[in-house]
Amino acid sequence: MTKQEKSRFVIETLERLYPEVTVPLDHKDPYTLLIAVLLSAQSTDVRVNQITPILFAKADNPHDMAKLTVEEIRDIIKPVGLSPMKSKGIHGLSKILIEKHDGKVPQTYTELEALPAVGHKTAAVVLSQAFGIPAFPVDTHIHRLMYRWGLSNGKNVVQTEKDAKSCFPKALWNKIHIQIILYGRQYSPARGWNLEKDVITKTIGRPSIIKEYMSKK
């Protein structure tokens, strides 16, 4: 299969499996999405969705969040991990949003990535899902699957993002990155992987990956 044929197969399969998608993180606006994505680093969406209602009951906007202390924020978000860094980031970015952005979440990579604890992936998620700006956030699932499918060399997430953007039409980026994440969780996880259930990898996957899998059976 050519890379174009592989990409078409991925698109068609994912569209059949996941015709409608939503952001797995519960939120109501760009600010709450920004906070939820920040909290999801090295945590799970399920855990984050358990904590954000508690946090947002106290502060669901920059003004109220800035009134909390870093310690108060940290006490609430401890279960998601990395709470010292995340609590400082949430408090710091809330103050900056008030001081520099009139309390609103900015809509550019440069401005978002200038906020404390906000990296490229977090910025990409916010741009794509809060504002509809085409972006291709790459998490561990997308990085793993792009390599398994032979659509990227898998050296780093920067290269994976570049490859993903070249493989799939720009109009699909905001939807397909979520579809790939859902597929990775359900059919092609890092652990407990069953190739027989993973129709995409089984059909278009990198031969070395399939050979390695078969050798371990």
pLDDT at 168: 98
What is the rounded distance in angstroms from the CA atom of residue 195 to the CA atom of residue 205? 10
Note the pLDDT tens digit of each residue in 22-52. 999 999 999 999 999 999 999 999 999 999 9
Note the pLDDT tens digit of each residue in 151-201. 999 789 999 999 999 999 999 999 999 999 999 999 999 999 999 999 999
191 near 216, Cβ under 8 Å? Answer: no
From 45, 95, 100, 121, the catalytic residue:
121
pLDDT at 154: 78
Note the pLDDT tens digit of each residue in 12-26. 999 999 999 999 999
pLDDT at 217: 72
What is the rounded distance in angstroms from the CA atom of residue 15 to the CA atom of residue 130? 22
Note the pLDDT tens digit of each residue in 104-122. 999 999 999 999 999 999 9
DSSP letter for 20, please.
Answer: S
43 near 6, Cβ under 8 Å? Answer: no
Is 121 catalytic? The answer is: yes
pLDDT at 136: 98
For residue 205, name the pLDDT band (cuts at 50, 70, 90). Answer: very high
Mean per-residue pLDDT for 129-144? 96
For residue 63, name the pLDDT band (cuts at 50, 70, 90). Answer: very high
> What type of residue sits at position 137?
P
Q: Going by C-beta distance under 8 Å and a sequence separation of 6 or more, which residues neighbour residue 124?
A: 109, 135, 136, 137, 138, 161
pLDDT at 147: 97
Q: What domains does the chain contain, in order, with CATH numbers?
A: 3-21+137-215 (1.10.1670.10), 30-131 (1.10.340.30)
What is the rounded distance in angstroms from the CA atom of residue 136 to the CA atom of residue 175? 9
Mean per-residue pLDDT for 54-61? 98
- pTM, two decimal places: 0.92
pLDDT at 155: 87
From 26, 28, 86, 139, the catalytic residue:
139
6 HSE (CA, 13 A, CB side):
22
